[in-house]
Amino acid sequence: MSKQIPEVPYKTYLTEDELPKAWYNLRADMKSKPAPLLNPATKQPMTAAELEAVFCSELVSQELDNDTALIPIPGEILDFYKMYRPSPLVRAYFLEKALDTPAKIYYKFEGNNTSGSHKLNSAIAQAYYAKKQGLKGVTTETGAGQWGTALSMACAYVGLDCRVYMVKISYEQKPFRREVMRVYGASVTPSPSMETAVGRAILAAHPGTGGSLGCAISEAVEDAVSHEGYRYVLGSVLNQVLLHQSVLGLEAKAALDKLGVKPDVIIGCAGGGSNLGGLIAPFMGEKLRGEADYRFLAVEPASCPSLTRGRFAYDFCDTGHVCPLAKMYTLGSDFIPSPNHAGGLRYHGMSPVLSELRHQGLLEARAYEQTSVFAAAELFARAEGTLPAPESSHAIKGAIDEALRCRETGEEKTILFGLTGTGYFDLKAYEQFHSGTMTDFIPDDAALEAGFASLP
Ligand SMILES: *Cc1c(COP(=O)(O)O)cnc(C)c1O
């Protein structure tokens, strides 16, 4: 066996004492802040009072706080984190060997909990603040189902009703994910549904539609605002979600500091931007403060290329246009990735924080076609053992390409990437890949123009 693990550890864990006790708010160190959310009717910045009709109060204050760098994590949330954190920082020795690269590759693995992804980090925070406010329950949307699962777990823990609108095509294709949510007591409705006015309108206009995230968001928001004691929660995109996900980057940085290692490039997949925003936060903070330099790379699907081909503009966050406007890289709220797209990361927009960083030239972005992403996923699975989620595999593909470049140049770069979750519920997509029925699709400029036409 040539695959021996050298002197430094394969996995690095923090002790409980070393876990972060505060979230890091990257906005505090941004000289040019992300643009505020706007009220779609008045085009004025959303006030806290307006936002509190939809979101929990404490989360609204986190959403609007551009100045406080460190926000203490409440003890109850720290306790919950202890059930599945710290997550390991892994040195991908076996992948390095397989690639024959001089690069050193590390990944932060977030798949070690039942929800199977990083989304639990924010779900517990949002459920905790909702419960603390005395609410009865929360509503949300879920696409592939990871966010809905994470929120169900968090709501079961704090004792809160959880109503999930699940994109209909996923509801039908991923019945197991739906059942996991029901184990934790959530009610799961396929979207679009007849339960909301916006759902009924979308069904009337598009009978037989498989639904979309943007449409499920509209239904979940309508459900929350029309029921006493309910609020809406969202698993990505928003500033508050990136704030909670900073635990990811803080843990990764503390573990690397313990090893005396400084990454050259930090890579994450980008759907709405929460894992990437969380992972890069403390590193980007150092860069913004002039203390250190890093490269940051976002990886997205070529079939939903918001950061690489989108417009930086104010747009609706949802298809039904009930949410505030956000300034972000967007493909337009009418944009829906082609039906052959199986790799996740299908949201039309991107976190305003990441969008602003991209606009300032601080964040690189790259798009890959899905067959190349699944090929990278398999290479990774065979080398490192873990079955990755298709979403995470975009970051794997990005890291592999960086490492292969090092093989050509001989550079011994250190690469850190986020392995956001496991792929056990994505085997339909792997099946398509194996049977050769998976195809690539890159929208042409005319298709993107059609999406941009829906910009307000
Ligand atoms: C939701 C999800 C993503 C993408 O969401 P971001 O907000 O961009 O992080 C990536 N990986 C996994 C496993 C997910 O569940």
230-232 and 137-142 beta bridge pairing: parallel
Best residue for ligand 1 mutational test, from 236, 237, 240, 387 (most atoms within 8 Å of Cβ): 236
CA 368 distance to own-chain centroid: 17
- Output the CA torsion 215→307→251→109 (10° steps): 70
275 lines ligand 1 (CB under 6 A): yes
Tell me which residue has its CA closest to atom 13 in ligand 1: 421
DSSP for 204-247, please give it.
HHSTT----HHHHHHHHHHHHHTSTTEEE--SSSSHHHHHHHHH
Using the Cα atoms of residue 110, residue 111, residue 113 and residue 119 in order, give the sign of their dihedral.
positive
Contact 241, 59 (CB under 8 A): no
Position 1 scores a pLDDT of: 46
Whole-model pTM over 0.85: yes
Pocket test for ligand 1, best of 107, 146, 247 (most atoms within 8 A of CB): 146
Q: Is 25 in the pocket of ligand 1 (CB under 6 A)?
A: no
pLDDT in single tens digits along all 456 residues of the chain? 455 556 678 999 999 999 999 999 999 999 999 999 999 999 999 999 999 999 999 999 999 999 999 999 999 999 999 999 999 999 999 999 999 999 999 999 999 999 999 999 999 999 999 999 999 999 999 988 999 999 999 999 999 999 999 999 889 988 899 999 999 999 999 999 999 999 999 999 999 888 888 889 999 999 999 999 999 999 999 999 999 999 999 999 999 999 999 999 999 999 999 999 999 999 999 999 999 999 999 999 999 999 999 999 999 998 778 889 999 999 999 898 888 888 889 889 999 999 999 999 999 999 999 999 999 999 999 999 999 999 999 999 999 999 999 999 999 999 999 999 999 989 999 999 999 999 999 999 999 999 999 999
Number of Cβ atoms within 10 Å of the Cβ of 116: 24
Tell me the CA–centroid distance for residue 345 and ligand 1, in Å.
7
| Closest atom of ligand 1 relative to the 392 alpha carbon | 11
Say if domain 30-71+118-239 classifies as CATH 3.30.300.30: no
Residue of minimum CA distance from atom 10 in ligand 1: 391
Q: Rounded to whole angstroms, how far apart are CA atoms 36 and 34?
A: 6
| Residue 397: both structure tokens together | 């593909």
**Best mutation site among 345, 393, 397 for ligand 1 pocket (most ligand atoms within 8 Å of CB):** 345
Pick 11-20+74-116+240-452's CATH classification: 3.40.50.300, 3.40.190.10, 3.40.640.10, 3.40.50.1100: 3.40.50.1100
Instruction: Determine if ligand 1 sits within 6 Å of the CB of residue 143.
Output: no
What is the Å distance from ligand 1's center to 5 Cα? 30
Domain boundaries, the chain: 11-20+74-116+240-452, 30-71+118-239
Phi, psi dihedrals of residue 78, rounded to the nearest 5°: -60, -40
Buried b / exposed e over 317-351, threshold 16 CB at 10 Å, is bbbbbbbbbbbbbbbbbbbbbeeebbbbbbbbbbb
